[in-house]
Amino acid sequence: MKVLYISYDGMTDPLGQSQVIPYLKGLSGKGHEIHLISCEKKATDSKEFLSISVLLKELRIKWYPLKYTSTPPVFSTLLDIVKIKRAAKRIIIKNNIDIVHCRSYIAALVGLKMKKRLGTKFVFDMRGFWADERVDGKIWNLHNPLFKCVYNYFKKKEKQFLSSADYIICLTESGKSEILRWEIPRQPLKIQVIPCCADLELFDKNKINETERKLFAEKLKIKESDFVLSYIGSIGTWYMLDEMLDFFKVLLKKKENAKFLFITPENHELLKMKTSEKNIPENKIVIQKATRNEVPALLSLSHISIFFIKPVFSKKASSPSKMGEIMGLGIPLICNSNVGDVDKIINDTKAGALVNLFNDKEYERVINEIDGLTFTNPVEIRNGAVKYFSLQEGVEKYNNIYNELGG
């Protein structure tokens, strides 16, 4: 099939590299002709941009990068939508595109318009309840008339996307169940659940360069005798930094040799400030920025990994991309309940422990569970990643959708 994939996220962003390019690589390998529109924050002469450009060319993916507009709020997005529409129309007509695959709601505005005007198939890859995420994350304040208007607009559009899409992709079974309770004009809906899959070839403990791992340990002053708790990814909005640091404080009381390794590209000053506020010794916190290819070696320094996500309504449809990557390395997880399918996966795979309340007593219970060695088999944890987060299986599901839409 000839497919136009539209992503408002950039391919030079970590998310584009982990949750767009690997899928498109697989789909291109299955013979689909992939055209890609994305909005890029990095300059066209930056190292990241040039690297991604070379990679996509090697994968035979035709890339049409647009410059992301950052300000002013709302109006900058409207400007980007106009740019995406113009580019999409030109690409569809020139290349006789069959399917417009839209990643999230901004892209779906264009996909719906192209379906109506040019007759292309429309795949709504919703990724989550985007409008509700903006509210739950306090990005849109509904007391502000402008944001309330924008929220109502997208909730109306959400139903149009769902009723008009030739296929809907949802990240979680929990999110799918929620959608099926909504009053959507067209029934039955064609919904496929595909979580945020992980590249388990990259996140494989057996393929980690031991020299690179030792160099990171030396640089970060992590000893063999240290008990390392890790966190990977961005900080803020959804991720509960205060609560994760509180957990670490309780862990530190039980394990004096504990260290908290943050693998993150941002907010290093915020981390240091929060650590100071909570009276955590500075030498117990390790912060490191990493490229995607460096992450497995860094993560492998940890004994357990943690993420706490705000358990709000919109997170029913959320699939943390880090979950499959951590499990792929056989590392046990500490995470909170009531987020997407996290509870189900942890309970099924025995890959970690669930925090049900955010208080010291609950943290002590979970730490005792860690000491009880109830989930220490890295092979079984990795098998759980293969079961739930296989990139190959995700690609195959997309491939089947494309082929079905092509008749």
Structural fold of domain 2-197+390-405: Rossmann fold (3.40.50)
Give mean pLDDT in consecutive 10-residue pieces for the chain, a chain of 407 residues: 97 91 96 97 91 96 96 90 97 98 97 97 96 93 94 96 96 96 87 95 94 95 95 88 96 95 86 91 93 93 95 95 95 95 94 95 92 74 96 97 93
pLDDT at position 238 = 86
pLDDT at position 100 = 98
pLDDT at position 158 = 96
Of the options 3.40.50.2000, 2.60.40.420, 3.30.559.10, 3.40.50.720, the CATH number for the domain spanning 205-389: 3.40.50.2000
Dist. CA 219–CA 230, nearest whole Å = 16
Dist. CA 252–CA 273, nearest whole Å = 19
With both helix axes pointing from N to C terminus, report the angle between 321-328 and 342-349 in degrees, rounded to the nearest 10.
Answer: 10
DSSP-based three-state secondary structure for 13: coil
pLDDT at position 171 = 97
DSSP class of 315: G
Q: Per-domain residue ranges for the chain?
A: 2-197+390-405, 205-389
Cβ contacts of 115 within 8 Å, gap of 6 or more: 100, 121, 122, 164, 166
pLDDT at position 270 = 84
Q: What are the structure tokens assigned to 25, written together? A: 């690589």
Is 2-197+390-405's fold the same as 205-389's? yes
pLDDT at position 372 = 67
pLDDT at position 375 = 58
Q: What are the structure tokens assigned to 276, written together? A: 């100071």
- Quote the pTM value: 0.91
- Structural contact between residues 263 and 216, judged by C-beta atoms closer than 8 angstroms: no
DSSP characters over 284-302: GEEEE---GGGHHHHHTT-
